[in-house]
A and B are shown apart, each in its own frame.
Chain A
């Protein structure tokens, strides 16, 4: 026996079910029937309760919200059963946001994000370049990324990425309330932000129709539209999830980063702490389990001097009804020129 024989011992795995092959063919037939490219649906980085989250995330469900006012400005109307949130202005994040914006963006035309996920069988690195024009190039090594850029093999355009970064920029430039609305609805509005309760019910029903099959397969009932505190938590989940996504994809853009910090500063369920990482002063932004489906505490660590992301971590809540698994992602970010990436100069 040699190493190839050993490899072959890992070959046998349970195959996808025949229903899965049917569903995949259905997806193909749907795409073939459409004259335009199918929409690339965003994936959320944070989770809700298992089936609900996967289904809701896959369907790009965003949340409805009633947002609090800051200084008597107009408020987007939403279903009346959600509790209003107040904007917290006395936050170190707001101060940091101002400093970040004042410092401006470094030269270059793209953001390079290297994230390292710590998996059970060792760390895995992912390289992604987000150009200011909206192109996305990926690789799992510096060489692989350079080859992808050199070939011009960009990922399909992501309207979701464009929306979350635009919302962050809007927040940086002043209209935080409108930015919150845009951020929360970046992937759609099935809970009916700004709609009457009846319209919100209709929007929810339409969204659930898309994911009904997943619930049915899991032997679960399609959930009713959340209300009250549950609704508020979901709203905050989407605000936190989409805002941090903007940070991860465009951290080296000072405007986006400043807007992200301002938006996170408005969240009462996100507490700010101080720490240091390898001697560098850092801030921890801890999202309460309530906005993570109740089973995870999400801790984002950013550089206290410039707001760049350093690390995100999911800490399982002890004795949660649906236990989660711990996870950690470390980030390195840099402002780069796409031509340099193509030439392998990273």
Chain B
């Protein structure tokens, strides 16, 4: 099976199907990443923009990396930044509400939402890059080095940011309280 890097190389030589193959390998992961960040509705609106942006910037892909998923997360993050910046404040607010209200397929929904609300509050106090690295590692199962690649920072810096984020989160009163009680 061809690597992502090889497929991107072929797409640069005019083989558009090769790029579609790259997308189909990672679309679920990127779709879920977007949904985690802005809610399903907004994720659905942004997803096409992510593919187009990736296609348009594929010439900048570093072919020394066989796997394109971290690069696609980076493209998606850039699109999200534009989305957050361009939307009026009520849009991110409603996205957050939407995420919370979508999170209720289980009987323990109240406890979960409470937990999430507390966690969100603690997360909001982290520095943006700390929050990004933490989310990429905890939610997207990336290694610290891969998270660094997403954010275009050295692996050592990503490691430091993760350490700081985890420490700050652990020491946040809301999280400390959550860690002391059993959660569902």
Residues of A within 8 A of B (CB): 1-4, 6-17, 20-21, 23-29, 31-32, 37-38, 43, 45-47, 58, 117-124, 126, 128, 138, 140-141, 143-144, 147, 151, 155, 314, 324-329
A-B contact list, 16 entries, CB within 8 Å: A3-B166, A7-B119, A7-B169, A8-B138, A9-B116, A13-B102, A16-B31, A20-B44, A21-B47, A24-B27, A24-B47, A27-B49, A29-B16, A119-B92, A122-B121, A329-B88
Find out whether the CB atom of B96 lies under 8 angstroms from the CB atom of A119.
yes
Complex Cα distance, B152 from A75, in Å, reads: 52
Q: Assess whether B2 is interfacial by the CB under 8 Å rule.
A: no
Find out whether the CB atom of A15 lies under 8 angstroms from the CB atom of B40.
yes
Residues of B within 8 A of A (CB): 16, 19-20, 23, 27-28, 31-32, 34-36, 39-40, 43-45, 47-52, 55-56, 81-82, 84-90, 92-94, 96-97, 99, 102-103, 112, 115-117, 119-121, 123-125, 127-129, 134-135, 137-139, 152, 166, 169-170, 175, 178-179, 183
Find out whether the CB atom of B48 lies under 8 angstroms from the CB atom of A32.
no
In the complex, chain B residues whose CB is within 8 Å of the CB of A326: 90
Find out whether the CB atom of A15 lies under 8 angstroms from the CB atom of B35.
yes
Complex Cα distance, B178 from A119, in Å, reads: 23
Interface centre among B19, B23, B34, B51 (most CB of A within 10 A): B51
Find out whether the CB atom of A15 lies under 8 angstroms from the CB atom of B31.
yes
Find out whether the CB atom of A325 lies under 8 angstroms from the CB atom of B90.
yes
Asked whether A20 and B47 contact (CB < 8 A) given A6-B175, A122-B125, the answer is yes
In the complex, chain A residues whose CB is within 8 Å of the CB of B48: 23-28
| CB < 8 Å neighbour of B96 from A20, A121, A328 | A121
| CB < 8 Å neighbour of B139 from A11, A26, A120, A155 | A11
In the complex, chain B residues whose CB is within 8 Å of the CB of A4: 137-138, 166
| CB < 8 Å neighbour of A7 from B94, B97, B138 | B138
Q: Chain B: interface secondary structure?
A: helix
Interface centre among B86, B87, B88, B125 (most CB of A within 10 A): B88
Asked whether A121 and B121 contact (CB < 8 A) given A6-B183, A7-B139, A13-B40, the answer is yes
Complex Cα distance, B116 from A12, in Å, reads: 11
Complex Cα distance, B170 from A45, in Å, reads: 37
In the complex, chain A residues whose CB is within 8 Å of the CB of B16: 29, 32
- Chain B residue with the shortest CB-CB distance to A43: B86
| CB < 8 Å neighbour of A119 from B50, B51, B89, B170 | B89
Complex Cα distance, B124 from A41, in Å, reads: 30
Find out whether the CB atom of B93 lies under 8 angstroms from the CB atom of A119.
yes
In the complex, chain B residues whose CB is within 8 Å of the CB of A27: 48-49, 51-52
Complex Cα distance, B94 from A8, in Å, reads: 22
- Chain A residue with the shortest CB-CB distance to B95: A119
Find out whether the CB atom of A325 lies under 8 angstroms from the CB atom of B183.
no
- Chain A residue with the shortest CB-CB distance to B17: A32
Find out whether the CB atom of A121 lies under 8 angstroms from the CB atom of B138.
no
Find out whether the CB atom of A25 lies under 8 angstroms from the CB atom of B23.
yes
Asked whether A121 and B55 contact (CB < 8 A) given A10-B116, A24-B48, A24-B50, the answer is no
In the complex, chain B residues whose CB is within 8 Å of the CB of A58: 45
Shortest CB distance B1–A (Å): 20
Find out whether the CB atom of B52 lies under 8 angstroms from the CB atom of A3.
no
In the complex, chain A residues whose CB is within 8 Å of the CB of B99: 13
Interface centre among A3, A15, A21 (most CB of B within 10 A): A3
Find out whether the CB atom of A23 lies under 8 angstroms from the CB atom of B44.
yes
Asked whether A124 and B90 contact (CB < 8 A) given A16-B35, A27-B51, the answer is no
Complex Cα distance, B56 from A335, in Å, reads: 32
In the complex, chain A residues whose CB is within 8 Å of the CB of B178: 6
Find out whether the CB atom of B82 lies under 8 angstroms from the CB atom of A155.
yes
| CB < 8 Å neighbour of B138 from A11, A15, A117, A151 | A11
Find out whether the CB atom of A16 lies under 8 angstroms from the CB atom of B175.
no
In the complex, chain A residues whose CB is within 8 Å of the CB of B117: 121
- Chain A residue with the shortest CB-CB distance to B182: A1
In the complex, chain A residues whose CB is within 8 Å of the CB of B82: 138, 155
Shortest CB distance A137–B (Å): 11
